[in-house]
Chain A
Amino acid sequence: MNLWWLMVVCGAITFGIRYSFIAAEGHYQPPTWFRRLLPFVPIAALTALVAPELLLVQGEIMLGGDNQRLWAGLVAIVVAALWRNTLLTIGCGFLALFVLQRI
Chain B
Amino acid sequence: MTRARPFLLGLRSVMPLLVGVGPFGVIYGVVALQSGIPPLAAMAMSSIVFAGSAQFLLAQLVGAGAPLLLTAGAVGLVNLRHALYSASVAPLLAHLPRRWKLLLAYLLTDEAYAAAIPHLLGRSDARPPDAHWILFGSGFGLWAGWQVSTLAGVLIGTQLSPNLGLEFALPLTFIAIVVPMIDSRAFLAAAVAAGGVAVALAALPYKGGLFLAALAGLAVGAALTGRAK
Residue numbers of A with Cβ under 8 A of B are: 2-11, 13-15, 17-26, 33-34, 36-56, 59, 61, 69, 72-73, 76-77, 80-81, 84-87, 89-90, 93-94, 97
**Contact of A40 with B218 in the complex, beta carbons under 8 Å:** yes
Q: A11-B48, A76-B172, A94-B172 are in contact. Are A3 and B214 (CB under 8 A)?
A: no
What 1/0 mask marks residues of chain B from 135 to 149 whose CB sits below 8 Å from any chain A CB?
000000000000000
Q: Which residue of B lies closest to A86 (CB)?
A: B176
**Contact of A19 with B94 in the complex, beta carbons under 8 Å:** no
**Contact of A37 with B49 in the complex, beta carbons under 8 Å:** no
**Contact of A80 with B199 in the complex, beta carbons under 8 Å:** no
What's the Cα separation between A36 and B50 when bound, in Å? Answer: 30
Q: Which of A22, A36, A94 contacts B90 (CB 8 A)?
A: A22
B interface SS class: helix
Q: Give residues 23-73 of B contacting A (CB, 8 Å).
A: 37, 41, 44-45, 48-51, 54, 58, 62, 68, 71-72
The smallest C-beta distance from B66 to any residue of chain A, in angstroms, reads 10
Q: A5-B68, A14-B50, A90-B176 are in contact. Are A22 and B89 (CB under 8 A)?
A: yes
A-side contacts of B62, CB under 8 Å: 3, 6
A-side contacts of B97, CB under 8 Å: none
**Contact of A25 with B94 in the complex, beta carbons under 8 Å:** yes
**Contact of A22 with B168 in the complex, beta carbons under 8 Å:** no
Interface centre among A6, A36, A49, A51 (most CB of B within 10 A): A49
**Contact of B217 with A86 in the complex, beta carbons under 8 Å:** no
Known: A6-B68, A13-B72. 18 other contacts (CB 8 A): A3-B37, A17-B76, A17-B86, A36-B222, A37-B218, A38-B88, A40-B186, A42-B88, A43-B221, A48-B197, A49-B110, A53-B168, A53-B170, A77-B179, A87-B16, A89-B172, A89-B179, A90-B169
For the complex of A and B, the 6 pairs showing the least CB-CB separation, nearest first, are A44-B217, A51-B195, A40-B221, A80-B179, A89-B176, A19-B105
Q: Which of A20, A22, A33 contacts B93 (CB 8 A)?
A: A22
**Contact of B101 with A48 in the complex, beta carbons under 8 Å:** no
